[in-house]
Amino acid sequence: MEENLKVWQDAKRIVVKVGSSLVTDEGRGVDRAAIDRWTKQISELQKLGKQVIWVSSGAVAEGVVRLGWSKRPKKMHELQAAAAVGQMGIIEAYEKSFEIYGIKTAQILLTHADLADRERYLNARQTLVTLLDLGVVPIINENDTVVTNEIKVGDNDTLGALVTNLVEADLLVILTDQLGLFTADPRSNADARLVQVGRAGDKKYEEMAGGAGSSIGKGGMLTKILAAKRAARSGASTIIASGRIEDVLVKLAHGESIGTLLYAESRPMSARSQWIADHLQLKGKCVIDEGAIHAVRAGKSLLPVGVKAVEGDFLRGEVVACVDKDGKEICRGLINYGSAEAKRIMGHHTDEILDELGYIEQRELIHQDNMVVASV
């Protein structure tokens, strides 16, 4: 298919994500043979001039095997312990395998907080780009051992997309245990058909995609579809394909039509807007009225007068969401006042801010340049 060839020809920087069931042979333990096959393919991609970032799941699944447990634990601390044990095994296997091709690897464990803080985000980007320029293959996972459910990215499909945005990769490849996206979960629908090509962000694919079909994987197909939508924000297309197909990455790189291609159509957001949009957890929100909703959708700044309520505890410069009275997100952005001040000036006209606070920081609560408006 022509589209496949085109996205690969244009792609210099590629993020590849592999799921737990592939990495651990359906939970039996690190699949060294599979890893050897992938590292060989990555060495070939490098020869074609591509830079590869590898996002690998499997830490918990491998930890469960190493600890001799019969099933995945439910308690957070046990999951974290398993991840710490398993991550060692996975990284060790990758390092050994890449050595055969003289390729150096780097382990990068990220948390949501690393990506939410602007300085850490920029640092992570610089480090990753430096590693790529040195020919090193960064191997990324979530830092499961230090994050709790509330502050997690949560699944590596999303993490892969965030990394794609972070380094402005051209392509995200998600390797999984199915041939791609099917019209319904193929594990339970014999008639399901493979979707070969579509637009990332098209809502109909979200309806087709279900959760994880096994207890080993975390995200299922829906997180992959949402990851494609997220990756498209920085202009990257996504391919979902089976990691078990022989030479899958090399075949894809030569334009073979394998799996599902979800192409990015929308114009990429600026790096700053992406960073604002990429926050998965926010410290607070402002409930805004109809007039304010209309204004921000028309590309204007949010003024205090349009705010009905302020919730949460946040500082000036943090990202907050603006929601309507039903809680639906309208926009989000960097706020010019902390939560205490925002509560005092909400509902007030701009010329009343000085009276209320005794000083005026900015007339806008969120400036239009620091705002990302949700699509309607």
Ligand X SMILES: N[C@@H](CCC(=O)OP(=O)(O)O)C(=O)O
What does residue 147 show for φ and ψ, rounded to 5 degrees? -110, 140
The yes or no reply on residue 244 touching ligand ADP (CB under 6 A) is: no
**Which three-class secondary structure state does DSSP give residue 4?**
helix
Picked from ligand X, ligand ADP, none, the partner binding residue 273 (CB below 5 to 8 A depending on kind) is none
Q: CA–CA separation, 31 vs 40, rounded Å?
A: 14
Q: Considering the complex, state which of residue 209 and residue 226 has its C-beta at the smaller distance from ligand ADP.
A: 209
225 contacts which partner out of ligand X, ligand ADP, none, CB within 5 to 8 A by kind? none
Enumerate the known binding-site residues.
17, 57, 144, 156, 176-177
* Among residues 41, 176, 234, 237, the one that binds ligand ADP under rule CB under 6 A: 176
CB count, 10 Å around CB of 81?
17
Which of these segments, 14-22, 159-167, 274-282, 307-315, binds ligand ADP (CB under 6 A)? 14-22
| Cβ density class 274-304: b for 16+ within 10 Å, e for less | bbbbbbeeebbbbbbeeebbebbeeeebbbb
59 binds, among ligand X, ligand ADP, none (CB under 5 to 8 A by kind): ligand X
Q: Which residues bind ligand X (CB under 6 A)?
A: 19-20, 57-61, 83, 141-142, 144, 155-156, 217-219
Binding ligand ADP by CB under 6 A: which of 38, 54, 94, 182?
A: 182
Nearer to ligand X, 58 or 304 (CB): 58
Residues placed in the known binding site for ATP: 17, 176-177
Binding ligand ADP (rule: CB under 6 A), the pick from 44, 78, 168, 185 is 185
Q: What is the spatial distance between Cα 198 and Cα 238, in angstroms, rounded to a whole number? A: 10
Cα dihedral sign, 310-316-303-283: negative
What's the closest the beta carbon of residue 96 comes to ligand ADP, in angstroms?
23
Closer Cβ to ligand ADP, 155 or 278, answer by number: 155
Nearer to ligand ADP, 83 or 103 (CB): 83
Closer residue to ligand X (CB): 156 or 273: 156
Q: Which residue has the tokens 């996972």?
A: 141
Q: How far is the CB of 192 from ligand ADP (least distance, A)?
A: 7
Q: Which is nearer to ligand X, 212 or 277 (CB)?
A: 212
184 binds, among ligand ADP, ligand X, none (CB under 5 to 8 A by kind): ligand ADP
The widest CA-to-CA distance across the chain, in whole angstroms, is 70
Q: Which residue has the tokens 């790189």?
A: 253
Q: How many CA atoms lie within 13 A of 342 on its CB side?
A: 31
Residue 60 vs 292, nearer CB to ligand ADP: 60
Spell out the alpha helix ranges (H) of the chain. Answer: 2-10, 20-23, 32-47, 59-66, 76-99, 112-116, 118-133, 156-166, 203-208, 220-232, 248-253, 271-277, 290-297, 339-345, 353-357
Q: Which does 83 bind (CB under 5 to 8 A by kind): ligand ADP, ligand X, none?
A: ligand X
21 touches ligand ADP by CB under 6 A: yes
C-beta separation of 106 from 136 below 8 A: yes
- Look at residue 141 and give the partner it binds from ligand ADP, ligand X, none, a contact being a CB closer than 5 to 8 Å depending on partner kind: ligand X
Based on the shown chain and the rule CB under 6 A, indicate whether residue 208 belongs to the binding site for ligand ADP: yes
Instruction: State which residue, 116 or 174, has the beta carbon closest to ligand X.
Output: 174
Q: Minimum distance between the CB of residue 194 and ligand X, rounded to whole angstroms?
A: 20
Is residue 19 at the binding interface for ligand ADP, with CB under 6 A as the rule?
Answer: yes
| Residue 173 is a binding residue for ligand ADP (CB under 6 A) | no
Q: Under the criterion CB under 6 A, does residue 86 sit at the interface with ligand ADP?
A: no
Ramachandran bin of 53, using left for φ above 0, alpha for ψ from -120 to 50, beta for the remaining angles = beta
For 276, the token pair is 């604002």
> What gap in Å lies between CA 176 and CA 227, rounded to an integer?
14
Based on the number of CB atoms within 10 Å of its own CB, is 313 exposed (0-12), middle (13-18) or buried (19 or more)?
A: exposed
Which residues sit at the interface with ligand ADP, rule CB under 6 A? 19-22, 57, 176-178, 181-182, 184-187, 208-210, 212-214, 217-221
